[in-house]
Amino acid sequence: QLQASGGGLVQAGGSLRLTCAASGRSFSSDVMGWFRQAPGKERELVVGIRWSRGSTLYADSVKGRFTVSRDNAKNTVYLQMNSLKPEDTAVYYCAAGDRLTRYSGSYDYWGQGTQVTVSS
């Protein structure tokens, strides 16, 4: 019910926009999150948003560089990533749930992940 895409290889300082296509109950979830997982590291929340209140939760490392948005007509959520750094390299996942939290276990729906690689 969630499908992430848009990853790729980009040079440091560049930008990418990830897309999460949602269907069914996943898109009606009030909370959407983007997570990432680098090799050997735990999955971490990049940004979460509660649409009904507009409240957000960002990882400190991406504040001011990443922005989440959505297009209701297309049932799609976006993650705009600017000023990318090599440490942003990871597999990125979109997720949906009812709680705005950094804890991945609280999210009910997950996309398959898309690889983002930032070269130095």
28-86 pLDDT, tens digit each:
788 999 999 999 999 999 999 998 888 999 999 999 999 999 888 888 899 999 999 99
CB 16 within 8 A of CB 7: yes
Distance CA 26, CA 77 (A): 11
88-109 pLDDT, tens digit each:
999 999 999 999 999 999 999 9
From first CA to last CA, the distance across the chain in angstroms is: 34
